[in-house]
Each structure stands twice: as C-alpha cells, then as structure tokens.
C-alpha cells in the first residue's frame, strides 16, 4: 500500500523516480534493487483500479490455500517395509524445519508406536540433541538395514496365502506386491535371490493351477530362445499382464458370468420343495418313532426298551418280522434293501442295529 501511495504521488505530482526511491529508503530503511526503477514507471502508468482488481483476484486463492489441511507424517509401528517412506515424510515435514532438536524429539515420540517406540523410549527420557541423533541412528540400524528389509519382503512373500481361480482381485494385489519387490531389488542386493528358480517355484505355489500352467509354457518359450531360465522381472511382467486380463471389467470370465441370467433358479425352487417334503416326512417318521412299537408307550424308541433287550436275539428278530420293521433302522414303511439310514452296530461297526448283534 505504501508503494501504491508513492505511485499515486508520482502520477499526481510527476516527481522523479529517484526522489521516490530516496523517500522510501528513508521510510523503510530497505535497499530496493535497480529493477525497481524500471518497474515503477510502468506501474505508475497503469491505472490503480486494475492493480486493485488483480489484488482482489489473488486474495481468494491465497485464502483457499491457507485452508488446506497441514500434512503430517504417518505413525511408524515397526514394519521394516514402511520405514523408508515414514522416514522420508518425517524428514520432509518436521526434521527440515528450523526448530531445535529438543523439540524434534517430541515429534519423533509422537509419530512412533509399538515395538519401535519401546525400542527408543530411553532416548525420549533424555530429551537432548545427542539423544535425538542417537534415536535416529538406532532406528536406522534396526529398521533401515537392507538385510532386515529384504527378509521382511521374503517373509511376506512366503506367507502369502494360496489363491483360487476365482480370486482375481487377490491376484492383482499379489502382482502389485511383486512389482514392489522388483523395484526394491535395484536398491537391495539381497533381493536378487528372487531370480533363482527355486524361489520362483515357491511363488508358483501361491498361484492358481491354470496360471502356473501358463507360466510353464512361457518358461519353455524363453528357454528355447535364450537357453536361460526367466528372470524375476520377466515373471513379474507376465503375472501383471495376466492379472490385468483377469480383472478386465468387460471381457473377463468372471464379469461375463455375472452378466449371465441365473437359469437354475427354478430347479433350485423345486429342490427346495423336495427338501421341504423330505423334511416333513422325516419329521413325521421321527414322531412315529417316538412311540415304542414294543410297549406302545411314547418318549422312547425300541432301541432303548429294556424288556425288549432282555429277550433273546431270535425273539427280537421274530418280533421285528411280525411288526414288519426294517432290519436296518427298526422303522416301518420300507425294507432293508431300500433303507437309507442304517444304524451302525456299536460292537462290530456293521450296518445293523446293536440290539440285533449276535456274537456267533
């Protein structure tokens, strides 16, 4: 606003530019560059209303930019695979700020948790500049070690569950993880073990059978062309393409099956009716079974009637014949050949009731 006032004074009184520069030096004690002498005449020739409108246009954008949420680092809990990203975010957002180390160690304590926080808890108690540097040195040694990161990649790869042919999105997640392993191979030499054919076999055990067979054909083609086993990068490229094909939302096999009308709805209803009828029949048969055929009393079956079990086996067989019961389940209405629910003898484990067992 002081510059605008000076420009209005220049336009009104037509003072020399050097005089304006001298007055502003006396007022603000600031040395303006020589470029200011070239800008002032052009600004003086511009109407003040245009400059004000430009300033009004800039103010809303500045206000909206000030409303953006302040970024902050994530919380590190001890996973070696996320240590590098967390360290970069912490250094960018906090460590590079012009604040003392005693205050930085407070933020470091805030953005660690779990095993990582317990490992450096002693440095937080000191609260000195040397403690802050020592805490970072300890974290780098434990979680930033290339061998530790490589082992975390391999362990997660070996612990990945086996996928079925219908798990297309899980296949894409697995391909994405292998891509991250490939990217880390350029910086971690220990991950070059993934180029070994034995490690590839372990990875193949996680894939569906049809995809393992497709990779086998690809291996034969590459071996016939180069006389070498495919590298891990070639395997990741193959798997990424197959996952892309399997997850195509228009032409993939799973998407086509979802679009097909369900033709088996009516037969399912018929089967449900049949199952309902069978259930009713079974329930009615169970109600009949609750009445003992031998003593004509309810709440127990023929198997548990003591007076029937005290008879000889031949007498039991004669009674079952006279009542026209099944020799497999002791229920009426069918013969042994058509019995679908035979009892298992507790003595010989054969298909007849225990009450009809005879040692001879």
Beta bridge partners of 325: 332
pLDDT at 327 over 50: yes
CA distance linking residue 74 with residue 82, whole number of Å: 10
CA distance linking residue 165 with residue 207, whole number of Å: 8
Instruction: Record the pTM.
Output: 0.50
pLDDT at 171 over 70: yes
Say what the pLDDT of residue 36 is: 45
Give me the chain's average pLDDT, please: 76
Percent of the chain exceeding pLDDT 90 equals 13
Q: Name every residue whose Cβ is closer than 8 Å to that of residue 306 and which is 6 or more positions away in sequence.
A: none
Of 94, 97, 92, the closest CA to residue 109 belongs to 94
Exposed e or buried b per residue across 257-266, where buried means at least 16 C-beta atoms within 10 angstroms of its C-beta: eeeeeeeeee
CA distance linking residue 327 with residue 169, whole number of Å: 55
* Helix ranges (DSSP H) in 46-91: 48-66, 83-90
Say what the pLDDT of residue 306 is: 64
Say what the pLDDT of residue 289 is: 47
Q: Name every residue whose Cβ is closer than 8 Å to that of residue 64 and which is 6 or more positions away in sequence.
A: none
CA distance linking residue 200 with residue 26, whole number of Å: 77
Exposed e or buried b per residue across 219-239, where buried means at least 16 C-beta atoms within 10 angstroms of its C-beta: beebeeeeeeebebeebbbbb
Say what the pLDDT of residue 98 is: 84
Of 20, 19, 8, 79, the closest CA to residue 48 belongs to 8
**139 — pLDDT class (breaks 50, 70, 90):** very high
CA distance linking residue 178 with residue 233, whole number of Å: 9
pLDDT at 301 over 60: yes
For residues 24-48, average pLDDT: 48
pLDDT at 206 over 80: yes
Say what the pLDDT of residue 66 is: 66
Say what the pLDDT of residue 39 is: 45
70 or 77: which leads in pLDDT: 77
User: Where are the domains positioned within the chain?
Assistant: 2-66, 80-144, 156-251, 292-360
Say what the pLDDT of residue 296 is: 64
For residues 5-16, average pLDDT: 66
pLDDT at 302 over 70: no
**104 — pLDDT class (breaks 50, 70, 90):** confident
Of 79, 132, 136, 66, the closest CA to residue 103 belongs to 132
**304 — pLDDT class (breaks 50, 70, 90):** low
For residues 61-86, average pLDDT: 81
Of 323, 343, 325, the closest CA to residue 333 belongs to 325
Q: Give the Cβ contact number of residue 350 at 10 Å.
A: 10
**252 — pLDDT class (breaks 50, 70, 90):** confident
pLDDT at 40 over 50: no
For residues 193-219, average pLDDT: 89
Say what the pLDDT of residue 13 is: 62
Q: Is 179:186 a contact under the CB 8 Å cutoff?
A: no
pLDDT at 43 over 50: no
Say what the pLDDT of residue 97 is: 84
For residues 204-232, average pLDDT: 90
Q: Is 172:247 a contact under the CB 8 Å cutoff?
A: yes
Phi-psi domain of 16 (left: phi exceeds 0; alpha: psi -120 through 50; beta: other): beta
**277 — pLDDT class (breaks 50, 70, 90):** very low
Of 72, 89, 137, 142, the closest CA to residue 114 belongs to 142
Q: Is 166:142 a contact under the CB 8 Å cutoff?
A: no
For residues 154-158, average pLDDT: 89
For residues 150-174, average pLDDT: 88
For residues 245-270, average pLDDT: 65
């Amino acid at each position: 606003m002081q510059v605008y006032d000076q420009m209005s004074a220049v336009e009104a009184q037509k003072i020399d530019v050097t005089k304006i520069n001298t007055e502003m030096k006396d007022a603000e004690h600031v040395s303006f560059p020589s470029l200011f002498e070239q800008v002032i005449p052009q600004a003086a020739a511009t109407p003040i209303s245009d400059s004000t409108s430009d300033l009004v246009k800039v103010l809303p954008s500045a206000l909206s930019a000030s409303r953006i949420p302040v970024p902050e680092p994530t919380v590190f809990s001890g996973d070696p695979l996320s240590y590098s990203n967390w360290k970069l975010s912490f250094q960018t957002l906090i460590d590079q700020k012009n604040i003392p180390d005693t205050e930085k160690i407070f933020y470091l304590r805030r953005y660690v948790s779990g095993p990582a926080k317990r490992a450096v808890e002693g440095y937080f108690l000191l609260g000195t500049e040397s403690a802050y540097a020592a805490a970072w040195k300890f974290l780098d040694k434990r979680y930033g070690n290339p061998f530790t990161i490589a082992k975390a990649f391999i362990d997660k790869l070996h612990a990945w569950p086996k996928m079925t042919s219908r798990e297309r999105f899980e296949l894409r997640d697995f391909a994405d993880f292998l891509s991250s392993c490939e990217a880390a191979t350029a910086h971690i030499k220990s991950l070059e073990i993934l180029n070994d054919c034995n490690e590839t076999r372990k990875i193949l055990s996680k894939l569906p059978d049809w995809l393992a067979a497709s990779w086998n054909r690809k291996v034969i083609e590459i071996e016939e062309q180069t006389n070498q086993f495919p590298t891990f990068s070639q395997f990741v490229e193959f798997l990424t393409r197959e996952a892309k094909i399997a997850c195509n939302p228009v032409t993939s096999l799973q998407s086509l099956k979802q679009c097909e009308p369900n033709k088996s709805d009516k037969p399912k209803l018929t089967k449900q009716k049949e199952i309902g009828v069978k259930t009713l029949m079974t329930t009615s048969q169970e109600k009949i079974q609750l009445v003992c055929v031998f003593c004509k009393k309810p709440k127990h079956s023929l198997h548990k009637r003591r007076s029937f079990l005290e008879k000889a086996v031949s007498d039991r067989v004669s009674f079952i014949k006279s009542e026209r019961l099944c020799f497999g389940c002791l229920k009426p209405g069918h013969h042994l050949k058509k019995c679908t629910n035979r009892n298992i003898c507790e003595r010989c484990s054969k298909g007849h009731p225990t009450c009809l067992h005879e040692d001879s």
